[in-house]
């Protein structure tokens, strides 16, 4: 055991490496990810499809699918001022991990249908989750279940309690999953694309609910999303992932107004501007994210990067560099001051690892 570096870090992931050992070879889905979730804060993880966001989240709770395995790294979890424990050292089925999953950390999965049992009504599943954590009788738990469904925006919640997941739409299941995750009163909610299937009004309601619970209970949130509009609304801090690595981390205002990494700039350049005329084409990042088993040499972003320096970026993988208080970027432009352009962003100091 060791003390967590930042005194307010509830979760600190350090050098997480999760690989899939497939017949075709090793897939380096997550390759040395470090990030911190401070108590009471919301950290958003962004990045294109296939960058390792879900695998990172699932690694925290020992829920990586076969043939995947956490092969290196530490996942320090600290609750209520207790000594930190390294979740990476707990077996996925260990009692300790079950305790953490049972109430300390809740997860909303990207595939809500697959996460709900078709064998039981959603009410039965929600009541069970509530009774695991609160000394309520069945009737009181059912009342609380209906209240939670109402809070996630499900109309006629009493009736819906008796429905099975296959009778509900994807968006409805997603809201039931969110209600189940919140029923435990977790210290940390990990939400993997929790609002993608929802209409804008319901999405806003879920985000308000998360804010309310944070104010009530001090819950922290690790929120994975493609939607940079949602990030701007809810994030305190942002982690940008590319091809299994973190390429930039920082406060939400810094990331949006002064992004340091070319990939972050490209992601931000691909969102529609407020007030842009309809019919205006959305800029996209050229090319696609390569598969992890086809990782380019040097900086993994170099084949798509408009700032790539020939002979340098295709050869060496840049280290994580501190580019400001609480900010890191993984780009050679910040590693070597001589290469920085006229934008005045000098003085990078290598992160002590
Ligand atoms: N069971 C598996 N076997 C082999 N490779 C896997 C498996 N699950 C995930 N991967 C690979 O791990 C990489 C990261 O996947 P992950 O699901 O974490 O991406 P993501 O960032 O969550 O993408 P999305 O935005 O589409 O949800 C991908 O290249 C994916 O193909
Ligand atoms: S290291 Fe080079 S290729 Fe990679 S993001 Fe920076 S400038 Fe682009
Ligand atoms: Mg995902």
Q: Which residues contact 325 (CB under 8 A, 6 or more apart)?
A: none
Do 253 and 175 share a domain, yes or no?
no
Least confident among 2-11, 121-130, 292-301: 2-11
| Cβ neighbours, 10 Å, residue 342 | 5
d(CA 68, CA 66): 5
pLDDT at 253: 97
Compute the C-alpha angle 319/264/234, nearest 5°: 115
Alpha-carbon 229 to chain mean position:
15
Q: What is the CATH number of the domain that holds 235?
A: 3.40.50.300
Least confident among 46-55, 124-133, 193-202, 206-215: 193-202
Per DSSP (E only), the strands in 187-283 are 188-192, 220-224, 237-242, 245-251
Do 155 and 264 share a domain, yes or no?
no
Q: Mean pLDDT throughout 191-210?
A: 88
Residue 57 near residue 192, CB atoms below 8 Å: yes
**4 occurs within a structural domain:** no
| Cβ neighbours, 10 Å, residue 57 | 23
Of the two residues 263 and 336, the one the predictor is more confident about is 263
Helix 138-151 to helix 170-183 angle, to the nearest 10 degrees? Answer: 130
Tokens of 335: 């590693």
329 within ligand 2 shell (Cβ under 6 A): no
From the list 190, 142, 197, 192, the residue with the least C-alpha distance to 175 is 197
Do 250 and 330 share a domain, yes or no?
yes
Do 179 and 261 share a domain, yes or no?
no
d(CA 214, CA 219): 5
d(CA 185, CA 22): 37
Ligand 2 atom 7, closest CA: 308
Ligand 1 atom 12, closest CA: 29
Three-state DSSP class for residue 47? coil
**Residue 96, H or E segment:** helix 95-99
- pLDDT over 50 at 276, yes or no: no
Ligand 2 atom with minimal separation from the 309 CA: 2
From the list 42, 38, 40, 44, the residue with the least C-alpha distance to 229 is 44
- pLDDT over 90 at 263, yes or no: yes
Do 87 and 147 share a domain, yes or no?
yes
Tokens of 185: 């009163």
- What is the domain range of residue 181? 9-242
280 within ligand 1 shell (Cβ under 6 A): no
d(CA 339, CA 316): 14
- How does pLDDT run across 313-339, given as a tens digit for each residue? 999 999 999 998 889 999 998 875 444
Ligand 1 atom 18, closest CA: 52
pLDDT at 336: 59
Least confident among 111-115, 125-129, 212-216, 250-254: 111-115
pLDDT at 272: 55
225 within ligand 1 shell (Cβ under 6 A): no
**21 occurs within a structural domain:** yes
Q: Mean pLDDT throughout 34-39?
A: 96
- How does pLDDT run across 66-99, given as a tens digit for each residue? 999 999 999 999 987 688 999 999 988 899 998 8
User: Number of H helices and number of E strands within the chain?
Assistant: 12, 13
Do 192 and 267 share a domain, yes or no?
no
Alpha-carbon 236 to chain mean position:
13
Do 201 and 290 share a domain, yes or no?
no
Least confident among 135-149, 272-286, 320-334: 272-286
263 within ligand 1 shell (Cβ under 6 A): no
pLDDT at 342: 43
Cα 330 to ligand 3 centroid, rounded to whole Å: 22
Number of the ligand closest to the Cα of 29: 1
**Residue 40, H or E segment:** none
Ligand 1 atom with minimal separation from the 110 CA: 27
Do 227 and 305 share a domain, yes or no?
no
Average pLDDT across the chain, whole number? 87
**201 occurs within a structural domain:** yes
- Residue 163, preceding bond cis, omega within 30 degrees? no
- pLDDT over 60 at 182, yes or no: yes
Ligand 2 atom with minimal separation from the 305 CA: 8
Domain count, the chain: 2
| Cβ neighbours, 10 Å, residue 19 | 21
Cα 347 to ligand 2 centroid, rounded to whole Å: 17
Q: Mean pLDDT throughout 147-167?
A: 94
Q: Mean pLDDT throughout 250-264?
A: 96
**52 Ramachandran zone, left/alpha/beta (phi>0; psi -120 to 50):** left
pLDDT confidence tier of residue 353, bands split at 50, 70 and 90: very low
pLDDT at 184: 83
**35 occurs within a structural domain:** yes
Do 159 and 288 share a domain, yes or no?
no
**220-224, strands of its sheet edge to edge:** 105-108, 188-192, 220-224, 42-46, 237-242, 245-251, 327-329, 321-324, 349-350
pLDDT at 177: 92
pTM as predicted: 0.90
pLDDT at 298: 95
**60 occurs within a structural domain:** yes
Do 256 and 233 share a domain, yes or no?
no
Cα 26 to ligand 2 centroid, rounded to whole Å: 25
11 within ligand 2 shell (Cβ under 6 A): no
Per DSSP (E only), the strands in 78-192 are 85-86, 105-108, 188-192
pLDDT confidence tier of residue 25, bands split at 50, 70 and 90: very high
Do 192 and 45 share a domain, yes or no?
yes
């Amino acid at each position: 055991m060791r003390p967590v570096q930042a005194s307010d870090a509830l979760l600190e992931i350090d050098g997480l490496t999760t690989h899939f050992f497939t017949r075709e070879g090793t897939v380096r889905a997550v390759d040395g990810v470090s990030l911190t979730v401070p108590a009471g804060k919301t950290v958003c993880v962004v990045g294109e499809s296939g960058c390792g966001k879900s695998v990172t989240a699932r690694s925290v709770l020992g829920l990586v699918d076969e043939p995947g395995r956490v092969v290196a790294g530490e996942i320090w979890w600290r609750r209520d001022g207790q000594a930190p424990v390294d979740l990476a050292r707990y077996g996925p089925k260990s009692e300790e991990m079950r305790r953490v999953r049972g109430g300390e950390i809740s997860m909303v999965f990207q595939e809500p249908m697959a996460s709900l049992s078709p064998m039981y009504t959603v009410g039965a599943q929600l009541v069970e989750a509530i009774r695991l954590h609160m000394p309520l009788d069945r009737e009181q738990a059912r009342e609380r279940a209906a209240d939670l469904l109402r809070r996630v925006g499900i109309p006629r919640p009493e009736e819906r309690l008796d429905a099975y997941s296959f009778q509900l739409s994807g968006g409805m299941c997603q809201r039931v999953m969110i209600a189940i995750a919140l029923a435990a009163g977790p210290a940390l909610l990990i939400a993997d694309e929790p609002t993608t299937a929802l209409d804008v009004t319901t999405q806003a309601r879920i985000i308000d609910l998360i804010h309310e619970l944070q104010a009530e209970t001090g819950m922290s949130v690790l929120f994975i999303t493609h939607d940079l509009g949602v990030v701007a609304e809810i994030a305190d801090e942002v982690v940008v992932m590319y091809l299994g690595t973190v390429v930039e981390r920082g406060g939400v205002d810094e990331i949006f107004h002064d992004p340091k990494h070319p990939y972050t700039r490209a992601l931000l350049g691909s969102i529609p501007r407020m007030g842009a005329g309809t019919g205006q084409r959305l800029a996209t990042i050229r090319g696609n994210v390569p598969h992890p088993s086809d990782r380019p040499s040097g900086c993994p972003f170099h084949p798509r990067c408009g700032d790539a320096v020939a002979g340098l970026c295709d050869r060496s993988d840049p280290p994580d560099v501190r580019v400001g208080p609480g900010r890191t970027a993984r780009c050679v432009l910040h590693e070597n001051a001589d290469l920085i352009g006229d934008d005045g962003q000098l003085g990078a100091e290598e992160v002590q690892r």
